[in-house]
Chain A
Amino acid sequence: MLNYTLRRLMFAVPTLLVISFIIFALLDLAPNDPTGNLPLTIPPEVREQIRQTLGLGEPFHIRYLYWLNQFFINEPLNIIERIFGIEIGNSSERLRIRSWATRSPVVDLIIERMPQTLWVVGMSYVVGILIAIPVGIISAYKQYSWFDQIGTFVSMVGFSVPTFFTGVVLIVIFSVQLQWFPSIYDTTLKVTDWSSFWAQVRQMVLPVTVLALYNAAQLSRFVRASMLDNLNQDYVRTARAKGMKERVVLLIHVLRNSLIPVVTVIALGIPTIFSGAIITEQIFRVNGLGQLLIIAIQGADIPLVQTLTFIFAVLIVLFNLIADLVYGILDPRIRYE
Chain B
Amino acid sequence: MEVSDLKTVFQTHDGVIHAVNGISFSLDEGELLAVVGESGSGKSVAMMSLMQLLPMPPARIASGRVMFQNQDLVKLSSSGIRHVRGARIGFVFQDPMTSLNPVFTVGYQIMEPLREHMGLNRKQARQRAIELLEIVGIPAASKRIDDYPHQFSGGMRQRVVIAIALACDPKVLIADEPTTALDVTVQAQILELVRDLRQKLGMAIIWITHDLGVAAGIADRVIVMYGGLVVEHAPVQELFANPQHPYTRALLDSLPGRHTADERLRSIGGQPPLLLAEPSSCPFAPRCTHAFDRCRQQNPRLMNVEGRHEVACWWDPETRGPRDVG
Name A residues whose Cβ lies closer than 8 Å to a Cβ of B.
233-235, 237-246, 248, 253, 256-257, 260, 330-333
Interface stretch (choices B110-118, B119-127, B232-240, B264-272): B110-118
Q: Please judge, given known A-B contacts A240-B85, A243-B83, whether A332 and B101 are in contact too, CB under 8 Å.
A: no
Contacting pair B86 A256 (CB below 8 A): no
- The listed residue (B51, B82, B103, B167) touching A257 by CB distance below 8 A is B103
**In the assembled complex, which residues on chain B have CB atoms less than 8 Å from the CB atom of A245?**
82, 116
Query: What 0/1 pattern do residues 65 to 78 of B give for CB contact below 8 A with A?
Result: 00000000000001
Shortest distance between the CB of A260 and any CB in chain B (Å): 8
Nearest chain-B residue to A240 (Cβ)? B53
A interface: dominant SS: helix
Nearest chain-A residue to B102 (Cβ)? A333
Shortest distance between the CB of B60 and any CB in chain A (Å): 17
Cα distance, A237 to B104, chains bound together (Å): 15
Shortest distance between the CB of B90 and any CB in chain A (Å): 8
Contacting pair B102 A332 (CB below 8 A): yes
Contacting pair A235 B148 (CB below 8 A): no
**In the assembled complex, which residues on chain A have CB atoms less than 8 Å from the CB atom of B51?**
241
Contacting pair A238 B112 (CB below 8 A): no
Cα distance, A241 to B167, chains bound together (Å): 12
B interface: dominant SS: loop
Shortest distance between the CB of A129 and any CB in chain B (Å): 20
Name B residues whose Cβ lies closer than 8 Å to a Cβ of A.
51, 53, 78, 82-87, 90-91, 93, 95, 98-104, 109, 112-113, 116-117, 148, 150, 161, 164-165, 167
Q: Please judge, given known A-B contacts A241-B91, A256-B104, whether A233 and B98 are in contact too, CB under 8 Å.
A: yes
Nearest chain-A residue to B110 (Cβ)? A242
Cα distance, A242 to B101, chains bound together (Å): 12
Cα distance, A337 to B83, chains bound together (Å): 43
Contacting pair A243 B53 (CB below 8 A): no
Q: Please judge, given known A-B contacts A240-B53, A242-B112, A332-B150, whether A257 and B86 are in contact too, CB under 8 Å.
A: no
Cα distance, A218 to B316, chains bound together (Å): 66
Shortest distance between the CB of A331 and any CB in chain B (Å): 6
Contacting pair A235 B102 (CB below 8 A): yes
Cα distance, A160 to B132, chains bound together (Å): 54
Cα distance, A90 to B93, chains bound together (Å): 72
**In the assembled complex, which residues on chain B have CB atoms less than 8 Å from the CB atom of A234?**
93, 95, 98-99
Contacting pair B99 A237 (CB below 8 A): yes
- The listed residue (A238, A260, A333) touching B161 by CB distance below 8 A is A238
**In the assembled complex, which residues on chain B have CB atoms less than 8 Å from the CB atom of A240?**
53, 85
**In the assembled complex, which residues on chain B have CB atoms less than 8 Å from the CB atom of A242?**
85-86, 112-113, 116, 164, 167
Contacting pair B148 A238 (CB below 8 A): no
**In the assembled complex, which residues on chain A have CB atoms less than 8 Å from the CB atom of B161?**
238
Contacting pair A244 B104 (CB below 8 A): no
Knowing that A238-B93, A332-B103 are A-B contacts, what are 19 other residue pairs whose CB atoms are under 8 Å apart, sorted by A's residue number? A234-B93, A235-B98, A235-B99, A235-B100, A235-B101, A235-B102, A237-B93, A237-B99, A238-B164, A239-B101, A240-B85, A241-B51, A241-B86, A242-B112, A243-B83, A244-B86, A248-B112, A330-B103, A333-B148
Contacting pair B98 A241 (CB below 8 A): no
**In the assembled complex, which residues on chain A have CB atoms less than 8 Å from the CB atom of B84?**
243
Cα distance, A241 to B242, chains bound together (Å): 37
The 9 closest A-B pairs by CB, nearest first: A243-B86, A243-B85, A241-B91, A242-B86, A234-B98, A235-B101, A332-B148, A242-B113, A234-B99
Shortest distance between the CB of B39 and any CB in chain A (Å): 17
Cα distance, A260 to B101, chains bound together (Å): 13
Shortest distance between the CB of B257 and any CB in chain A (Å): 31
- The listed residue (B90, B98, B99, B116) touching A244 by CB distance below 8 A is B116
**In the assembled complex, which residues on chain A have CB atoms less than 8 Å from the CB atom of B101?**
235, 238-239, 253, 256-257
18 of the cross-chain contacts (CB-CB < 8 Å) are A234-B98, A237-B93, A238-B91, A241-B53, A241-B85, A241-B93, A242-B86, A243-B86, A243-B87, A244-B82, A244-B116, A245-B82, A248-B112, A256-B101, A257-B102, A332-B103, A333-B148, A333-B150
**In the assembled complex, which residues on chain A have CB atoms less than 8 Å from the CB atom of B82?**
243-245
Shortest distance between the CB of A222 and any CB in chain B (Å): 18
Nearest chain-A residue to B96 (Cβ)? A234
Contacting pair A243 B117 (CB below 8 A): yes
**In the assembled complex, which residues on chain B have CB atoms less than 8 Å from the CB atom of A256?**
101, 103-104
**In the assembled complex, which residues on chain B have CB atoms less than 8 Å from the CB atom of A330?**
103
Nearest chain-B residue to A232 (Cβ)? B55
Shortest distance between the CB of B172 and any CB in chain A (Å): 12
Shortest distance between the CB of B301 and any CB in chain A (Å): 32
Cα distance, A235 to B161, chains bound together (Å): 10
Nearest chain-B residue to A231 (Cβ)? B55
Cα distance, A66 to B96, chains bound together (Å): 61
Among A233, A238, A241, A332, max chain B CB count under 10 A is at: A241
- The listed residue (A237, A244, A331) touching B112 by CB distance below 8 A is A244
Among A237, A238, A243, A330, max chain B CB count under 10 A is at: A243
Contacting pair A238 B150 (CB below 8 A): no
Shortest distance between the CB of B66 and any CB in chain A (Å): 16
**In the assembled complex, which residues on chain A have CB atoms less than 8 Å from the CB atom of B113?**
242-244
Shortest distance between the CB of B274 and any CB in chain A (Å): 23
Cα distance, A243 to B184, chains bound together (Å): 31
Shortest distance between the CB of A106 and any CB in chain B (Å): 44
Shortest distance between the CB of B300 and any CB in chain A (Å): 34
**In the assembled complex, which residues on chain A have CB atoms less than 8 Å from the CB atom of B117?**
243
Contacting pair A246 B85 (CB below 8 A): no
Nearest chain-A residue to B117 (Cβ)? A243
Cα distance, A244 to B51, chains bound together (Å): 13
Cα distance, A241 to B116, chains bound together (Å): 12
Nearest chain-A residue to B91 (Cβ)? A241
Shortest distance between the CB of B117 and any CB in chain A (Å): 6
Nearest chain-A residue to B151 (Cβ)? A332
Cα distance, A238 to B160, chains bound together (Å): 12
Nearest chain-A residue to B108 (Cβ)? A252
Cα distance, A240 to B102, chains bound together (Å): 16
**In the assembled complex, which residues on chain A have CB atoms less than 8 Å from the CB atom of B78?**
246
**In the assembled complex, which residues on chain A have CB atoms less than 8 Å from the CB atom of B102?**
235, 257, 331-333
